[in-house]
Chains A and B, each alone.
Chain A
């Protein structure tokens, strides 16, 4: 019985490994989505649409919570950390709004 379980678990592990390798392109960039979405959409909500801080948090909030948030009013930028990745969006001008600036 024990042997049967370990065979199943090994097969499952191999399957996950194979799936992860196959989808690596998507998986490796996925964690960045949370902080880049939050920083970019918050930046546009606050500096372009000129809504309140509370309303912009509500606008940019996702199912996965963020761990750090910084609104820099002087430099007109938003920095957010989520799923271990940090991203910054910056307000450029009235014409061109916000854009993600981190590499």
Chain B
């Protein structure tokens, strides 16, 4: 009996020996973006053209519109698909724009977690200016992360990859009592979200597991405040991102200590958010000037390395998190397909609560911004992206 037990143990050890444990079966496929030959910079705003002139079918776009703007549930109970805005651009030109539920082209909309992807843009700028390095431990710049040796191991890269190891609980409506995101935004953490989050215990060794947490973002925001100093930090997104892109109608809310709530509270118009997408589609270059460092968009599109050792869960299939953005890569070795299998594999996105979406599709030269107020999961991203893809005729 004892012998056969040892034999089985040895067999199991041999079976696993040499197996590639990388969830992607090697390096993920992330090809560099092609340089645009003739960019159409939207200064001050997007050029409007007919869909056909850039190879998109108007009638097929009608199906996209029908999907996005048909109410499927009870409006008073906030059910079904509830789109507020949809903007589509091809080859740097506006081909579709529609608003609903009292929104319009000049009204800003809450982007919820798409804010995280713009907080990441702020990091691109800080890295380019040489003020921070991705592998700097957070405590070099931000004292609350020096509370013990375990917290000192958390680097800026870990935080951007949602792999800090901090025990955040990202439940909203599902588990409000113990949700750290709700405590952070509305109760115990609201005065100083970064400090609240840095005080969380660790659930895993930093860098080894991906666990989506708004806390990671707000620690990043607090780090930037220390790096730049309050005065410069207050101007940072406005002067160094929004102004160069010609974005003037924008609101970025802060916590009780004046730190940007990078996890949740950026408000923009749909067409302005598309400009952020266009900056990323053009490898961080705007109007011929490099705003984000070389390699930053590659970093943005590469899945977080922590997936290699993150325990399996159903969420992995919806959650190909990169560096504060999402990618359509999947986790092939674990048999998990891309989150949006009917969209091109190179699609990447900023996504937020209740249906906020910024999609960038380099292979089709498409940018899609969709704002909504979906209180249940009735808007199926893959179905929507499939219709958009099918509208491209050449």
Q: Does B271 contact A (CB under 8 A)?
A: no
Contact B251 A94 (CB under 8 A): yes
A96 vs B14: C-alpha distance when bound (angstroms) = 59
Which residues from chain A contact B267 at a C-beta distance below 8 Å?
A: 44, 48-49, 97
The answer to whether residues A97 and B253 also contact, given A44-B110, A51-B102 and a CB cut-off of 8 A, is yes
Chain B interface helix/strand/loop/mixed = loop
Contact A29 B102 (CB under 8 A): no
Q: Which of A12-39 touch B at CB < 8 Å?
A: 23, 25-27, 29-30, 32-33, 36-37
Q: Does A40 contact B (CB under 8 A)?
A: yes
Closest to A64 in B: B176
Closest to B180 in A: A26
Q: Does B188 contact A (CB under 8 A)?
A: yes
Contact A44 B253 (CB under 8 A): yes
A49 vs B250: C-alpha distance when bound (angstroms) = 10
Which residues from chain B contact A51 at a C-beta distance below 8 Å?
A: 102
Q: Does A67 contact B (CB under 8 A)?
A: no
Q: Does B370 contact A (CB under 8 A)?
A: no
Contact A95 B251 (CB under 8 A): yes
A100 vs B182: C-alpha distance when bound (angstroms) = 14
Q: How large is the interface on A (under 10, 10 to 19, 20 to 34, 35 or more residues)?
A: 20 to 34
Which residues from chain A contact B107 at a C-beta distance below 8 Å?
A: 49-50
- In angstroms, how far is the closest chain A Cβ from the Cβ of B378? 17
Contact B108 A23 (CB under 8 A): no
Contact A99 B110 (CB under 8 A): no
Q: Does A78 contact B (CB under 8 A)?
A: no
Q: Does A10 contact B (CB under 8 A)?
A: no
Contact B183 A26 (CB under 8 A): yes
- In angstroms, how far is the closest chain B Cβ from the Cβ of A90? 11
Interface residues of B (CB under 8 A from A): 76, 78, 101-102, 107-110, 176-178, 182-183, 185-188, 190, 238, 250-256, 265, 267, 373
Interface residues of A (CB under 8 A from B): 23, 25-27, 29-30, 32-33, 36-37, 40, 44-45, 48-52, 55, 58-59, 94-101
A-B interface, 4 closest residue pairs, ranked by CB to CB distance from nearest: A29-B187, A97-B253, A36-B186, A97-B251
